[in-house]
Amino acid sequence: MLQLANIKKSFNEKKVIKGIDLSVRKGEVVVIVGPSGSGKSTLLRMMNALEYPTEGDIRLEGESILYKDINGKHTSRNDKELSKFRAEIGMVFQGFHLFAHKTVLENIIEGPIYVRKIKKEQAIQEAEYLLKKVGLSDKRDQYPHSLSGGQQQRIAIARALAMKPKMLLFDEPTSALDPELVGEVLIVMKELALEGMTMAVVTHEMGFAREVGDRVIFIDQGVIVQDAPPEKFFHTTNGNERIRKFLSTLS
Ligand code: ADP
Ligand code: MG
């Protein structure tokens, strides 16, 4: 589904991603973990072209999402192509990013109408189905500020799904939530995984990584230190000192 080949990324002179190869297969759930500042968000943002690698290539179903100018420097594709890629790879952020001045329903139908160009009636029908799926049908006409953080994040997930993405990226989707609201978001994500959604998830929720992840990828200082199935990653005999240290800092 998605292939990253020898990705490097610098900000000014600072090397943040130092050569990452990563493939995500269709239906796979890849959980990305690692210390703060290790490059997880930058990596995720490159996966849907919110950020461009300094070197390397990113392919969605075999097609490069990057564009190189005559100097070989990565530049943006044109806006139309870019919005097509962004629609195909949905992103859910730590801070929800809902439109504050739009109702829940309006938040969900905006993208389908303006980017997917579907009729409003159909967009509403699909949105109602998705609201039911995330358990928030009764919030349809409310504004985001009247919802809890967990509810807002479930709406953000419904909004991402409304674009019918091929893949979903989650960047610490539960990190901004009060502890008692984390579970309701993880349940929605787990259901998506069981339905076969292809997902890359940056999270510190090791229970989720263990239970839902097909692979756990540990990133430190811009490189992949380990890429392993959870049973291996969490095994007490995991020989990697940096990983053991990281795991001991959580909870
Ligand atoms: P993580 O998500 O793992 O905490 P990030 O990908 O956010 O890490 O950041 C990795 C490093 O890149 C950090 O040192 C951060 O300061 C730097 N960085 C991220 N985005 C930018 C940017 N837009 N400009 C300059 N430095 C950045
Ligand atoms: Mg981050």
| Whether the predicted model's global pTM rises above the 0.90 cut | yes
Residue 107 is predicted with a pLDDT of 98
State the ligand closest to the CA atom of 219. Answer: 1
Contact 217, 232 (CB under 8 A): no
Please tell me the number of Cα atoms within 13 Å of 229 on its side-chain side: 3
| Residues around the ion ligand 2 (C-beta < 5 A) | 40-41
State the ligand closest to the CA atom of 43. Answer: 1
Q: Could you report the predicted ipTM of this complex, rounded to two decimals?
A: 0.98
39 alpha carbon to ligand 1 midpoint, in Å? 6
Closest approach atom of ligand 1 to CA 45:
6
Q: pLDDT of the chain along its 251 residues, tens only? A: 999 999 999 999 899 999 999 999 999 999 999 999 999 999 999 998 888 898 898 999 988 887 666 666 666 666 777 777 888 999 999 998 999 999 999 999 999 999 889 999 999 999 999 999 999 999 999 999 999 999 999 999 999 999 999 999 999 999 999 999 999 999 999 999 999 999 999 999 999 999 999 999 999 999 999 999 999 999 877 788 889 888 888 86
In Å, how far are 22, 54, 206, 211 from 238, measured between CA atoms? 21, 33, 15, 18
Please give the DSSP secondary-structure letter assigned to residue 52: -
